Amino acid sequence: MPQKTTTTFATAFEREVHEGLTAFPKYLSSKYFYDEVGDKLFQDIMAMPEYYLTDCEFNILDANKTAIVDLFASDGEPFSLFELGAGDGKKTKVLLRHLVERNIRFDYRPIDISQNALDQLETALHKELPEVDINPLQGTYFDTLRDIGESNGRRKVILFLGSNIGNLLHPQAVEFLKNMRKVINKNDLIFMGFDQKKNPQTILDAYNDKTGITEAFNKNILARINKEMGGDFNLDNFLHWEVYDPQTGTAKSYLVSKVEQVAYIDRLDLEVPFKRWETIHTEISQKYDDAVVQWLAGKAGLEIATSFSDEEESYKDYVFTK
Ligand code: AVI
């Protein structure tokens, strides 16, 4: 039988699904959790009492807004405030409002992969903070970092909140930080959230809520394959499973096949066989401490200028310079 040696893919999503589901052990990338349904599920996650990260960072920004804005506006010149993965901008509005109240000159450039999220944010800001000069940019972090590098001559402050960096393995995180370093100048700042190591139970609960929102979020990647690639995954045949290793600080999400089954993805002409209890690894959510952040920054050629945290040191925002 002649083997099919080359397959052409219409999108990176198709290519990565093919790659991950023909590998052993199977994996898929959490960046594909997000479509309109996934965005909404993530908003629901952020509102869950178990998902402490959002409130924690909101409180850090609120409690330290004066000091943070002092840092952003340190030379008194107008600056550009970029935000990667802006989402609904709920936390950022604390800083934007304070910048407006202090009559500080800046423009806000939220960046998100979702045009829908950007449109909603722009409409909300026009209403709530009409003084803010907003220039949204649609694209992936990687595409838009280039745009940041080529932007106007203003000083740059880049926000990356929500511990989004935690969804990258350490080598990818270093690569990402190196790319950020390339687009900033000496006086520019990177302001970035890193969820910290803490009681392992607290972390497990945040990623394993009883209401099943995180389960639906994790399974949304299969729902997307069904919708966008003509897949026939039966979502009820999979368990959402979360583990946390307190030694490495890595939380990992899996989908576990409850039965022996074969799924078929029409667009890829691919049969995906599963043994009973076979896994698909879908996400990592890395937790950090100062030593690890210091190590990542050092590898990327960045320095930690300062950091802000809650009293329990449950979550930290670090300020990096080059
Ligand atoms: C977007 N990211 C930082 C979230 C996290 O905490 O890793 C995604 C998430 N996954 C499950 N719950 C939330």
Distance from Cα 24 to the centre of ligand 1, integer Å: 24
User: What share of the chain has pLDDT > 70, as a percent?
Assistant: 98
Q: Which atom of ligand 1 is the closest one to the Cα of 167?
A: 7
Sign of dihedral through CA atoms 110, 116, 120, 126? positive
Average pLDDT on 96-121 reads 92
Please report which confidence band the pLDDT of residue 283 belongs to, taking 50, 70 and 90 as the band edges.
very high
Give, rounded to a whole angstrom, the gap between the first and last alpha carbons of the chain.
57
CB contact at 8 A, 264 and 271:
yes
pLDDT greater than 90 at residue 306: yes
- 164-217 residue pLDDT tens: 999 999 999 999 999 999 999 999 999 999 999 999 999 999 999 999 999 999
List ligand 1's pocket residues with C-beta within 6 A: 45, 53, 162-164, 166-167, 207, 214, 217, 283, 285
Q: pLDDT at position 235, please?
A: 98
**Residue bearing the bigger pLDDT, 39 or 300:** 300
pLDDT at residue 22, rounded to an integer: 98
8 A C-beta contact, residue 240 and residue 255: yes
Residue nearest to atom 1 of ligand 1 (CA): 164
Q: Is the pLDDT of residue 106 over 70?
A: yes
From residue 86, give the alpha-carbon distance in Å to each of 125, 188, 278: 13, 19, 35
Nearest by Cα to 47 from 88, 99, 101: 88
Query: In a mutational test of the pocket of ligand 1, which residue from 32, 283, 288 has the highest number of ligand atoms less than 8 Å from its CB?
Result: 283
Secondary structure of the chain as H, E, C letters: CCCCCCCCCCCHHHHHHHHHHCCCCEECCHHHHCCHHHHHHHHHHHCCCCCHHHHHHHHHHHHCHHHHHHHHCCCCCCEEEEEECCCCCCCHHHHHHHHHHCCCCEEEEEEECCHHHHHHHHHHHHHHCCCCEECCEECCHHHHHHHHHCCCCCEEEEEECCCHHHHCCHHHHHHHHHHHHHHCCCCCEEEEEEEECCCHHHHHHHCCCCCCHHHHHHHHHHHHHHHHHCECCCHHHEEEEEEEECCCCEEEEEEEECCCEEEEEHHHCEEEEECCCCEEEEEEEECECHHHHHHHHHHHCCEEEEEEECCCCCEEEEEEEC
| Model pLDDT, residue 5 | 55
Token output for 99: 């910048």
Side-chain-facing half-sphere of 101: CA atoms under 13 Å: 11
Residue 8 pLDDT level (bands cut at 50, 70, 90): confident
Residues 6+ apart with CB under 8 A from 127: none
Output the pLDDT for position 213. Answer: 98
Q: Does the pLDDT value for residue 142 go beyond 80?
A: no
pLDDT at residue 257 in the model: 99
> Candidates 28, 29, 30: which one to mutate for ligand 1, based on the most atoms within 8 Å of Cβ?
30
Q: Which residues of 109-126 are buried (b: 16+ CB within 10 A; e: fewer)?
A: bbbbbbeebbebbbeebe
Edge-first strand order for the sheet with 238-245 is 26-27, 279-286, 250-257, 238-245
Q: Could you identify the atom of ligand 1 that is nearest to the CA of residue 251?
A: 7
Q: How far is the CA of 246 from the centre of ligand 1 (A)?
A: 17
**CB–CB of 111/139 below 8 Å?**
yes
Nearest-atom index, ligand 1, CA of 206: 12
CA 225 – CA 221 distance, rounded (Å): 6
Q: Which residue has the higher pLDDT, 150 or 302?
A: 302
Ligand 1 atom 3 nearest Cα: 164
Mean pLDDT of 232-261: 98
Residue 6 in this model has a pLDDT that exceeds 80: no
Q: Residue 102 C-alpha to ligand 1 middle, in angstroms? A: 33
Q: Which residue has 């670090």 as its token pair?
A: 318
How far away, in angstroms, is 287 Cα from ligand 1 center?
A: 11
Q: Which whole number is the average pLDDT over 23-43?
A: 94
Mutate to test the pocket of ligand 1, among 84, 207, 241 (most ligand atoms within 8 A of CB): 207
Indicate which residue's Cα is closest to atom 11 of ligand 1: 207
What sign does the CA torsion over 149, 152, 154, 156 have?
Answer: negative
- Tell how far the Cα of 193 is from the centroid of ligand 1, in angstroms: 13
Under the banding of pLDDT at 50, 70 and 90, the label for residue 141 is confident
Confidence of residue 85 (pLDDT cuts 50, 70, 90): confident
Sign of CA dihedral 165, 250, 114, 141: positive
pLDDT at 113: 80
Q: Is the confidence at residue 3, as pLDDT, over 70?
A: no
Q: What is the average pLDDT score of the chain?
A: 94
Q: How far is the CA of 285 from the centre of ligand 1 (A)?
A: 6
Query: Are 189 and 322 spatial neighbours (Cβ–Cβ below 8 Å)?
Result: no
Ligand 1 atom 6, closest CA: 285
